[in-house]
Amino acid sequence: MTHYDKNTRPSTWVALTTLVFLGGCAFQTYNPKPLDPVERMQSYRAHDPNSPEFRTYLESQGYPANTWPINQWGLRELTFSALHFHPQLDVARAQLQASQAREITAGQRTDPSVSGSVGRSEDDEAPWIYSIGLDIPLQTANKRELSLQLAQSLSEATRIEIGQTAWEVRSRLLSSWIDYNAALQQTHALQQEVDVHHEIMDMLNKRVEVGMLSTTELSQVRLQSQQAQQKLTVEQSRIPGLRAALAINAGLAPEMLERLPLATPSAEILLQDQHDTKLLSDDNELQDAALLNRLDIRAALARYEGAERKLRLEIARQYPDITLSPSYIYEEGFHIWQLGLNALLPLLSKNTGLIEEARALREVEAAQFELLQANVLGNLEQAKARYFGAMEMLEQTRQQYATSRQQLQRMSRQFDQGYADRLELAYAKLENFQAMQNLISAEYTVQRAAAALEDALQQPLEFVDALPNDMEQIHPSAPPGPSTQE
């Protein structure tokens, strides 16, 4: 459409150009932010769980304010430390910010473009020629809203994955906590066994000296003592590495963890049942808890929703967008106004390729979701079987340990009454400490199996979380050692 007018002043195009560019005055500026590896490492080493910032975080999470400063750091306190300081969560939060920035991009309208020209002919008496035009794009078929919905679905998946990352951080911390405390318990039990071996060796040496015992029997006992000492040395060598892993998984530098008073159990502590048997005995409830509570299931649903919206967007892109092109031309005293219309005619492709690609992507997401569900149920059944198998083994080991304690108590009474000598009592003590090591190993197996069951459910089992914090109250103590009189 074209309109001619001789009354408009030629300077009109200057005013129009000024109006077009007025909206583009507020530009952002680039601010460099170099990455200094040394500074970043110092920042990581400066993570301080005794800082006011961490205390504020604890209070925001409902941690009792009257317990500050923390005198005993158990699993709960270290979990808060991991969720506050661990750099993996910083990565997840940064990814969420990037995803949310894509929402802004998806929701933006396409900016119009402007073009203009000025010129004249070779005739000096001919007037100048001026022109200015705008191209105003108009999206059809609600494409901008569909693009925004797609970006929102992907942001929701990323937001859920932050929770998934937090669970993974907590899971690794729990594993480190179990390994570290089990090593401490075994070390203490092995030290007691080694002490008893030394006691037995002293008594047997005296008997060899007076001819009451052959050197062959003494050599066998010496070999057993050396094996026990070697096991103790190996277990002691593992503790620094396990403590360093615990610090890293808590988001702290190893030297920072050294300053914290950890609530570590003693070797005499024995596991008690603290789990919810109702949840574990109901298969349907257990499966529902896994399929409805797991964060990766919810993230997969969000990604499938994104694939649905991607398909809707590609189908909407079958319909061409329209570009309005108003323009003004001043030529030989005439003021010419024009309105142009531009659109791509979808005569050939009709966006068929991208539509089929989006449809296939939706099928991929659906298949991956079904695979995830199958893996979740399979892992759940395996974890449940391992857990109950470990609990059965633990119960048998408890009975063996109880028998060993009874034997030790009976031998202690006989020793006090003069019916047993000190060597028999020492062998009873040795058997008791070895049974304690078996019990600690069985307890460790149960804790690892429970942690695997937690991962299958992505839901804490009550006894696993309570165990480190209230260890001394949960477990009965071992019987007092017998007297050592001759």
Model confidence at 481: pLDDT above 90: no
Let me know: does 128 contact 119? Beta carbons within 8 Å: yes
Q: How far is CA 144 from the centre of its chain?
A: 34
pLDDT digit string, tens, across residues 35-45: 888 888 888 88
Segment 452-467 mean pLDDT: 70
Going by pLDDT thresholds of 50, 70 and 90, the confidence category of residue 472 is: very low
Instruction: Flag whether the pTM goes above 0.85.
Output: no
* pLDDT of residue 214 exceeding 70: yes
Q: Which phi and psi angles does 44 have, rounded to 5°? A: -65, -45
243 touches 36 (CB < 8 A): no
The answer on pLDDT for 483 being more than 50 is: no
Domains in the chain: boundaries = 43-474
The listed CATH number (3.10.450.50, 1.10.1200.10, 1.20.1600.10, 3.40.50.150) that belongs to domain 43-474: 1.20.1600.10
Which pLDDT band, with edges at 50, 70 and 90, does 468 fall under? very low
**Residue (of 412, 426, 396) closest to 193 by Cα position:** 426
Q: Which residues contact 341 (CB under 8 A, 6 or more apart)?
A: 322, 323, 324, 325
Tokens 């507020």 correspond to what residue? 26
Which pLDDT value is given to residue 281? 62
In terms of Cβ atoms closer than 10 Å to its own Cβ (0-12, 13-18, 19+), residue 93 is middle
344 to each of 113, 143, 147, how far by Cα in Å?
17, 15, 20
Predicted pLDDT of residue 219: 85
Of 338, 432, 331, nearest to 134 by C-alpha is: 338
291 φ, ψ to 5°?
Answer: -75, -25
Q: Give me the mean pLDDT over the 58-81 stretch.
A: 88
Closest by CA to 193, choosing from 444, 443, 427, is: 427
Q: Among residues of the chain, what percentage have pLDDT more than 90?
A: 48
Return the structure tokens found at 266. Answer: 């003693």
Which pLDDT value is given to residue 349?
A: 80
Residue 267: which pLDDT band, with cuts at 50, 70 and 90? very low
In tens, the pLDDT along 282-292 reads 677 788 888 88
Give the lowest-confidence range in 2-6, 27-31, 249-253, 419-423.
Answer: 2-6
Tell me what pLDDT residue 482 has: 36
Q: CA–CA separation, 429 vs 208, rounded Å?
A: 22
* Rg of the chain, C-alpha, whole Å: 38
pLDDT score for 364: 97
Question: What's the mean per-residue pLDDT of the chain?
Answer: 83
Whole-number Cα distances in Å, 177 to 3, 271, 447: 81, 15, 10
Per DSSP, the three-state class of 33 is coil
365-386 confidence digits (pLDDT tens):
999 999 999 999 999 999 999 9
| Maximum alpha-carbon separation in the chain | 138
| pLDDT average, residue stretch 133-156 | 92
Lowest mean pLDDT among 4-18, 325-339, 392-406: 4-18
Distances (CA, A) of 395 to 93, 104, 402, 446: 44, 58, 10, 11
User: Which amino acid makes up residue 25?
Assistant: C
| pLDDT average, residue stretch 105-109 | 89
Q: Is 29 a residue whose pLDDT tops 50?
A: yes
Interatomic CA distance for residues 210 and 214, integer angstroms? 10
What does the pLDDT read at residue 278? Answer: 52
Q: What is the pLDDT of residue 25?
A: 56
Q: Which residue has the tokens 């066994």?
A: 193
